[in-house]
Amino acid sequence: MAKLSSLLDTINDIDTTNDPKQDLVGKVYEYFLSKFALAEGKGKGEFYTPKTIVNFIAEMIEPYKGIIYDPACGSGGMFVQSIKFIEAHHGNKKKVSIYGQEYTNTTYKLAKMNLAIRGISANLGEKASDTFLDDQHKDLKADYIMANPPFNQKDWRAETELIDDPRWRGYDVPPKSNANYGWILNVVSKLSENGVAGFILANGALSGGGEEYKIRRKLVENNLVEAILVLPRNMFYTTDISVTLWILNKNKQAQSKKVGSETRKYRDRAPEILFMDLRQLGEPFEKNSRNSLTLTYKKWCKPITNGRPKKLKISQNSAIPPRTMKLSRKIFPWFPANTLNL
């Protein structure tokens, strides 16, 4: 006990405010969180989300202001990086509200600790619970959703469970054999009228048949899918699985929108999807690569004058009107032929 007390005294004596840019306690805590997550997630389709992926999602959807939600928040990494993104771009973290949910009780407590030591307030629900069976935020409408839910989660509901769940309204019921499309429809149901989501799924979600195909087709027909990006392999610490970043957007219409400190003009992208195959980038997936990709995405969203912007360097049209290309080659299994390869 004396040694523990001495250790705590030593930690308390560390001047963590000497350099405000160095979140020393946060970095140490993040290190141990990653080690814990690696041990806990093995065999469950759960993988600790590396900071590079979390940063990339934040850079793509730019959660400057409004409600941020993560339906499978783990230890809260998405929230921490969102706040860091806001601070790095001179935004005001007081303009965001954070909501999340986590199934595992220990991880739920770690998330609350992770946020508390950084001074981040959040509503993670009254308790640790299953997002599907005990939704802690039933009436929530979020402006930004960031998530890395468990991959290919099997038997996530019983045969007769959640058949009439309002989150599936307008879509087929996701199959109980795989929760991927349960997560997708949960995200869709939580988006506000101008909401944007960025989340990671295994590549198999791009080509599943049966109910998954029907749901995927409906998502395209409803103009919700903004972009699909296949990420490089070896992004996760304990698996070399290749994963996909999905960007969903409830409002792909032409508009002017305040983003951070600037006002941007967006063209009508309703019937289009941006496909990007990033596997050739390989590792490491560093900041320069991410900056180039986010810039490409932003240019694609801008109004087109005199054809497609030359700097985008797209040899073929990657913005695919789904109703003129055989419905995106039967709703992208795996990808349409004219994908933007970077």
pLDDT score recorded for residue 272: 87
Tokens at residue 225, please?
A: 């899918």
Whole-structure pTM value: 0.82
- Residue 67 forms beta bridges with which residues? 97
For the chain, what is the largest distance between any 2 Cα atoms, rounded to a whole number of angstroms? 74
Q: Give the Cα-Cα-Cα angle 143, 147, 120 (nearest 5 degrees).
A: 70
pLDDT score recorded for residue 341: 47
Domains in the chain, please, with CATH? 36-341 (3.40.50.150)
**Tens of pLDDT, residues 19-41:** 545 555 545 555 565 565 555 54
Residues of the chain with pLDDT under 50: 4, 7-8, 12, 16-17, 20, 26, 41-45, 308-328, 334, 340-342
Q: At what angle do helices 24-41 and 105-116 cross, to 10 degrees?
A: 170
Closest CA to 80 of 98, 101, 56: 98
Closest CA to 54 of 341, 285, 295, 278: 285
DSSP class of residue 301 equals H
pLDDT score recorded for residue 133: 97
Q: Which residue has the tokens 């983003």?
A: 259
CA dihedral of 111, 112, 113, 118, whole degrees rounded to 10: 90
Taking a C-beta distance cutoff of 8 angstroms, is the pair 99, 139 a contact? no
Closest CA to 69 of 187, 224, 246: 187
